[in-house]
Amino acid sequence: MKIGMVLQDTRLTIEKMDAAFDEVLKSARENKLDLLVFPEHFYCPDEARLAQLAFLNYPQEDGGIEGDFDEIGDIFKEYAKAAGCPVLASRADKYGFIYALCVSAEEGIIKWYGKHIATNISAFQTGDYDTAIDKYFNAFELNGFKIGITICYDSNKSLFSAAYGEVDLLINLTGGHVDYKKWSIYQKARALENRCNNLCTMAYFDSNARNKSYVFGFDGYGKKLPYQLANDNRYLNNDRADGLYIYEIDLKHETFKDFDKEKSEPDEFLNAAATVSKNISVNLGKEDLVKILSSENRIVEGLYAIRFGDETLVIIDAPEQKIEDPIFIEHLFYHQKLINYSKKKYLIINRWEHLDRDYYERRLSTILKVRAAENYCIVILLSDQIDECIQVGMTKNVQIVKRVDGKYGLDLKRATGPESFWKNNQTIGVRKEWRNNYELLINRSYKERFNNEQNV
């Protein structure tokens, strides 16, 4: 399946953007693409018209309903006709709800998805979320491939990808100007843990931005997918403004179920220098950690708690490949038994009796970093080959903690977990009350996983 990912440039004049848009549609048809993908907040010639349309059904003061779902779909349908293939793109409606929409010229609307976090109006707020979950996380099929969609920061929370279940391809539509390392490891982790292909594209929209914008593509082994740059064969990198990057996706989820080190590649950020924490709350060594995982500290299977001063250190025991299962991890992070504990800090311990070094370098290393960053927690690997401690920084990049005299000096202020994320923060675009619906999504995903395992 040929998929075109557009790294759009919205810093240009309207005339130039219109011309570039038309050229991309033409190139999609000439290259016989199966799907054309634009980023979050994409530009199109119907920009002004789309900005005045309501994607959802919004109640009005006079008792009526305002909603332009079908009209928006018709606009996208015209683009799909010109491209000769379905079009997937994302933007905000007139009230600020950010949606992704995939439309075919023949079938009309194939799939839509609503952004959950880093937004003013969340999918969590739409109707009865408990009954709407299946609508959001129902993968669509195209040319025999099952595909799931996320928007921007939703890819920074593992559950929004894992909630689709087994898919062959995940596609993330991002705004742009991201930290390369952070966005790269998130996209690679989503491919690895879901054992599927993962694609991401974005846009250039700020001439003064420090960071560039990129396309990313990884297969289920975590290897970068090759691409062809349709409109500039001389350019080699994944950051060309207005580039049309064509990926040929041939392999499906089943291919990646068993790790193959010969088809994978090492963590791009392997062997980062370890440093001592500037602020140390507690020092813990390997023996201390093993003692903590005793029955007297156990809350439920896999979940432990111990007091350090006036703080509660919550420990998730995720042995071996359990660390790679987002649903297992999230279920413990949000376990109902933790409600009565105060001032919680979070630590994941990943223990291996025999750890293959290639497995660590090519798969596990990325997963560990992302688990720390996405959960605002500390992750410690204990094995016969490698011991490692990772804690998240204030910008969600990660620090490898240096061991001193056999102990890791941990900064528990960097391990605040869900409590630091689910709070009213207009700048980030998160609200405290959204946590309740996030927990509904966890419970739904966990029940499905449990039922599937029971059936097997």
Q: What are phi and psi of 244, to 5 degrees?
A: -105, 105
The Cα 377–Cα 389 span in angstroms is 11
Q: Is 16:39 a contact under the CB 8 Å cutoff?
A: no
Amino acid at 266: P
Name which of 39-43, 81-85, 369-373, 444-448 the model is least confident about: 444-448
pLDDT of residue 452: 64
pLDDT of 456 over the 50 cut: no
Domain spans of the chain, in order of start:
2-263, 282-421
- What element of type H or E holds 328? helix 326-333
Average pLDDT of the residues in 250-276: 94
Average pLDDT of the residues in 404-428: 94
The Cα 397–Cα 203 span in angstroms is 22
Predicted confidence (pLDDT) per residue in 238-254, tens digit: 999 999 999 999 999 99
Predicted confidence (pLDDT) per residue in 73-110, tens digit: 999 999 999 999 999 999 999 999 999 999 999 999 99
The Cα 27–Cα 245 span in angstroms is 11
pLDDT of residue 128: 86
Which CATH code of 1.20.120.420, 3.40.50.2300, 3.60.110.10, 1.20.1600.10 fits the domain covering 2-263?
3.60.110.10
Q: DSSP of 344-393, one letter per residue?
A: EEEEEEEE-SS--HHHIIIIIHHHHHHHHHHHTSEEEEE-SS--EEEEE-
pLDDT of 25 over the 70 cut: yes
Average pLDDT of the residues in 335-360: 96
pLDDT of 329 over the 60 cut: yes
pTM for this model (two decimals)? 0.95
Q: Is 88:36 a contact under the CB 8 Å cutoff?
A: yes
Amino acid at 114: G
- Those residues whose C-beta lies under 8 Å from the C-beta of residue 41, and which sit 6 or more positions away, are 10, 90, 91, 92, 98, 175, 203, 205
